[in-house]
Each structure stands twice: as structure tokens, then as C-alpha cells.
Amino acid sequence: MDLLNTLVDKGLRRETPTREEALAVLATSDDDVLDVVAAAGKVRRHWFGRRVKLNYLVNLKSGLCPEDCSYCSQRLGSKAGILKYTWLKPDDASQAAAAGVAGGAKRVCLVASGRGPTDRDVDRVSDTIKTIKEQNEGVEVCACLGLLSDGQAERLRAAGADAYNHNLNTSEATYGDITTTHTYADRVDTVQKAHAAGLSACSGLIAGMGESDEDLVDVVFSLRELDPDSVPVNFLIPFEGTPLAKEWSLTPQRCLRILAMVRFVCPDVEVRIAGGREVHLRTMQPLALHLANSIFLGDYLTSEGQAGKADLEMIADAGFEVEGTDQVTLPEHRAAGGCGSHAGAACGSDDGTGCGSHEGGGVCGSGAASAPRTDEPRTDLVAVRRRGAGTDIAPNA
């Protein structure tokens, strides 16, 4: 396919595709999905080899957010039955981080619900960052605390943070449909503040919120312009109890096309599969490793992921290797200016809850089982996190 040959050539040269080319990737048919993965996989291997970076989420403060992001189980008025707790103590956060590091993670992502931190919150998180760095040698720390005020990014950097995550989530044109309590411009401003303070910027998107292909291409091109080191791609987990609970539109093939498009537009950037990996890619997860070079290990903020051991087995079985702390994530031309790798969780963007109600497809009945449809709601795959940070139960790592 001429389109794919062109995109591979551009990706290897770090040249931006046209919007039409990016849209054409999203418009390819399911028959072509392996060709798309193979092409984007060439670009991924050129810049990142077969390495997979593992990141580990620690939810420092869960639920009770005053903001109204429609996709988020922690939002104002959320009826999702998630864990709710206030700030973890530094030692507790460090203990949770240590579990992730022991499981193979090289980056810990410290996330807190809320519009943004107060200066006292920044002090609190600074203590946590210092404790984690003291107790977990070589670990990278990314903070994700919402919108930053002047000077806060610098203070986090001084405390030892390597990176800051704040996602754009969707296109500027549709941002107001998703959230009304802050703006797209607020989000851009925080990513720029993180960048300016010398933090590695991490900013990504959420797919599956009812957006058009044009919206997806818009947000990915905006991200390319902002030039983060890391781009998390979340696939919406439609939590019961949130406004987007019925928004089940993604198929595994659609997720692969989206990841491929992100790889072609951001060829030398850490592309990370974030929330929704297990729910939407399902048995196609290993194919997505040919596109993304980074994933979260274990659980998400408010939902449970597959067992950490299963993540490691999947990476090995697919012929990839976990990136070590002695390896630099980014290609040389990008790593020179920053801390070397990068990451991020996503304030609210990853993760899901999903307390009961509908159940997905499954068939039994009188005789032979039939194959489930790939676009049916899979609420059976959404589990509220009940272990790890904020509980007395061992974390999944």
C-alpha cells in the first residue's frame, strides 16, 4: 500500500505526515490491519527496538474531585463505586512504588485527583518524591496532579521529579463537550509549564469518547506541536456511574489503528498504552506492542488491570523485552535534553470502575458457542480496584 510505504519513510525521517495521511490510517479496513501494524512496527523498532518500558501507577489521592470530566470515575457526582481516600503518607506511597519497581517498572507515576495542587499539596508530594527516590534507587518519578500554578513545576523538579503528566485528552473543538470546569487552554498551559521547568512532559489522549477521526487526528497533531517526550493513549473505560457509561464504541482493530496513527505522527516519542488496554484490545494486546513502546504494569488508578505476571509473560511471548533501568528510553536526539525516558499516568484518563449492571456478550445456550462480537459492551472486563494503594491488600505488580 503506497500510503503505508510513505508513512514508514516519513517515520524513519521524523517527518510529520499530512492530516490526510493520518486520517487515511484510521480509515483503513479490518482486512488491512496487519499491514498497518507491520508498517508502524517498522517505525517503532527503528526508534525503540524491541524494548517495552514499564510504568507503575500510584494513586496518591482517589475520588472526590470537584471537576466534571465526563470520562472520569473520580469526577464530581460520580456514582462509580471506586476507592475514595485522601493523600497517602510518603512511606505508604513509597511502599506501593517499591512493589511496581520489584515487578520491573522503571518509572513510578504519582497521581492525585483534583483540579490542581495547592502549594501545601506540592510540599506533600515533594516529600513523597524524596522518600521514593531514597528508598528505590534509580527509579524515575512522574507527577500528575492536575493544573499547575506558577512556580509549582519548578518546585516539583527541585524535589526530584523527572516528569509531569497532563493529558490534552481530546481535540480543542470537542473539549467543552467532555469537561466544563476547565478548558483545553488550561491543559496546554500546564504542559508548557512542565516543559519550561525542565520536567519531561508527558501528555496524551483518550480515544472512544464519541469523537470523530478528525478529532483524534487534531489532538495527536496538537500533541506533536507541544512536543512531549511521552504520549499515553487511553481507551475509554466506560464506568458505570459516569456520563460516558454507555460509550462502548472501540474494537481491538480500531485501537490498533489509533496506536499506529499516533506512532506515525509521533515516531520517536514514547507511545504508551494506558487505561483500557485489557478492556478494549483484549487478546490483541500483544499486537499493540509492535506500535507502542511503553505500558503500565498491573493496576490503574481506580480499575484493576491484568496480573503483573501476565503483562511480563505477554511481553516475553510476543518477542519483546522489558526495558532495564540502565537503558535510555528515548532515541539519543531526544534523550539528551531530558531525563532519558518518560512517562505518565493520567489524571483521570486511565482507569475505570465499573460496578455491575450490564454484562457483556457470553453465549451458551443449547449447543455450539458462537464467537462474541467485538463491538459489544464488555462491562464484565471492568473491575474496580480493590487492592494496592489505599487498601490493606497487596498491590498487583
Q: What is the set of active-site residues? A: 65, 69, 72, 109, 142, 202, 272
Task: Identify which range of 61-69, 202-210, 260-268, 272-280 contacts ligand SF4 by CB under 6 A.
Answer: 61-69
Please return the burial class of 247, using the count of CB atoms within 10 Å of its CB with bins 0-12, 13-18 and 19+. Answer: middle
Distance CA 15, CA 375 (A): 34
Residue from the set 25, 60, 65, 97 that interacts with ligand SF4 by CB under 6 A: 65
Residue 365 pairs with which residues in a beta bridge?
none
Please return the burial class of 367, using the count of CB atoms within 10 Å of its CB with bins 0-12, 13-18 and 19+. Answer: exposed
DSSP output for 100-148: HHHTT-SEEEEEE-SS---HHHHHHHHHHHHHHHHHSTT-EEEEE-SSP
Minimum distance, C-beta of residue 6 to ligand SF4, in the bound complex (Å): 37
Say if CB 101 and CB 139 are below 8 A apart: yes
146 in contact with ligand SF4 (CB under 6 A): yes
Q: How many residues bind ligand SF4 (CB under 6 A)?
A: 11
Calculate the alpha carbon distances from 87 to 45, 145, 292, 332 in Å.
40, 12, 32, 37
83 in contact with ligand SF4 (CB under 6 A): no
Q: Which is nearer to ligand SF4, 76 or 316 (CB)?
A: 76
In the chain, at which residue ranges do the beta strands (DSSP E only) sit? 51-61, 107-112, 140-144, 163-165, 200-202, 205-207, 230-235, 270-273, 294-296, 321-322
Minimum distance, C-beta of residue 230 to ligand SF4, in the bound complex (Å): 18
- Considering only residues 95 through 134, tell me which ones interact with ligand SF4, judged by CB under 6 A: 113, 115
67 in contact with ligand SF4 (CB under 6 A): yes
Task: Identify which range of 26-34, 69-77, 119-127, 330-338 contacts ligand SF4 by CB under 6 A.
Answer: 69-77
303 in contact with ligand SF4 (CB under 6 A): no
Minimum distance, C-beta of residue 67 to ligand SF4, in the bound complex (Å): 4
**Residue nearest ligand SF4, CB atom distance:** 348
Minimum distance, C-beta of residue 174 to ligand SF4, in the bound complex (Å): 15
- Considering only residues 348 through 377, tell me which ones interact with ligand SF4, judged by CB under 6 A: 348
SS3 assignment, position 59: strand
Minimum distance, C-beta of residue 65 to ligand SF4, in the bound complex (Å): 3
Q: Which residue has the cell 532519558?
A: 340
Distance CA 158, CA 326 (A): 23
Residue from the set 72, 143, 168, 397 that interacts with ligand SF4 by CB under 6 A: 72
344 in contact with ligand SF4 (CB under 6 A): no
Residue from the set 69, 143, 262, 322 that interacts with ligand SF4 by CB under 6 A: 69
- Contact residues: ligand SF4, CB under 6 A: 65, 67, 69, 72, 74-75, 113, 115, 146, 347-348
